[in-house]
């Protein structure tokens, strides 16, 4: 049981490039979410999904796209990377039965130059 797995762990992008951060969970969790962590800003919710085929915007969705075609996977796409998107990105999942523990992936450190 691997829990929540994110790939890659580190990535450097040039401004304007696009890429996909991968997130997979093997706990059959319905709810999945993406956060970005910046110094002094805490964890800010980018997008979330309550189940396959359903996604919604969080606090800071601009510049990011998501889709949820399966229960297990929830990729985050950066359409045209900007230096302001330099951050540590965390994917999290939970059972989705309301007020259940969130399990986080190990994070992806992204630098946009």
Partner 1 sequence: GENVEQHPSTLSVQEGDSAVIKCTYSDSASNYFPWYKQELGKRPQLIIDIRSNVGEKKDQRIAVTLNKTAKHFSLHITETQPEDSAVYFCAASPSYNTDKLIFGTGTRLQVFP
> Cβ of residue 97: shortest distance to partner 1, in angstroms?
8
- Report which of 94, 76, 93 is spatially closest to residue 85, judged by C-alpha positions: 76
Q: Is 34 in the site for partner 1 (CB under 8 A)?
A: no
Distances, alpha carbon 9 to alpha carbons 22, 95, 106, 111, in Å: 10, 24, 8, 11
Window of 14-22, 28-36, 65-73, 75-83 that interacts with partner 1 by CB under 8 A: 28-36
Q: Is 94 in the site for partner 1 (CB under 8 A)?
A: yes
Residue 107, burial from CB neighbour count under 10 angstroms (0-12, 13-18, 19+): middle
**Which residue, 1 or 42, is less far from partner 1 as judged by CB?**
42
Q: 3-class DSSP state for residue 84?
A: helix
CB 86 within 8 A of CB 110: yes
Window of 20-28, 68-76, 79-87, 101-109 that interacts with partner 1 by CB under 8 A: 101-109
The token pair at 52 is 């396959």
Q: Is 40 in the site for partner 1 (CB under 8 A)?
A: yes
Q: Using CB under 8 A as the criterion, what x/- string covers residues 46-65 for binding partner 1?
A: --x-x-------xx------
Q: 3-class DSSP state for residue 80?
A: coil
Residues that bind partner 1 (CB under 8 A): 31, 33, 35, 40-45, 48, 50, 58-59, 90, 94-102, 104-107
């Amino acid at each position: 049981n691997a829990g929540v797995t994110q790939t890659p762990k580190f990535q450097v992008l040039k401004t304007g490039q696009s890429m996909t951060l991968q997130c997979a969970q093997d706990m059959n969790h319905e709810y999945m979410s993406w956060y970005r962590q910046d110094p002094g800003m805490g964890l800010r919710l980018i997008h979330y999904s309550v189940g396959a085929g359903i996604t919604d915007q969080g606090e800071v969705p601009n510049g990011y796209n998501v889709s949820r075609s399966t229960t297990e996977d929830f990729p985050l796409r950066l359409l045209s990377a900007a230096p302001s998107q330099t951050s540590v990105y965390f994917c999290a999942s939970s059972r989705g039965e309301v007020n259940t523990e969130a399990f986080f992936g190990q994070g992806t450190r992204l630098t946009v130059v």
